[in-house]
Amino acid sequence: MEGLAHLAAGLGAGMAVIGGGYGIGRLADAAMHGTARQPSAANDIRTTMIIAAALIEGVTLFAEVVCILLAFK
């Protein structure tokens, strides 16, 4: 049964990383399109993108920690 817990934690952490990577990729894509359409707003777009990327990474890291904690419970 413990082996299944480790497997589930690994799958959960992997899914969290995939989701975080997908979210940051979509965010960067939207920022690049916004900057291409309106270059004068590049600084505002970049700032907003960095804040949103940090939030996405924070949620992803939290999900990974939860998976690791559940694996060793």
Domain ranges of the chain: 2-71
pLDDT digits (tens, 9 = 90+) for 13-57: 999 999 999 999 999 999 999 999 999 999 999 999 999 999 999
Q: Which CATH number fits domain 2-71: 3.40.630.10, 1.20.20.10, 3.40.1280.10, 1.10.3720.10?
A: 1.20.20.10
pLDDT at 45: 96
3-state SS string over the chain? CHHHHHHHHHHHHHHHHHHHHHHHHHHHHHHHHHHHHCHHHHHHHHHHHHHHHHHHHHHHHHHHHHHHHHHCC
pLDDT at 18: 96
Q: Tell me, what amino acid is at 60?
A: T
pLDDT at 72: 85
pLDDT at 2: 75
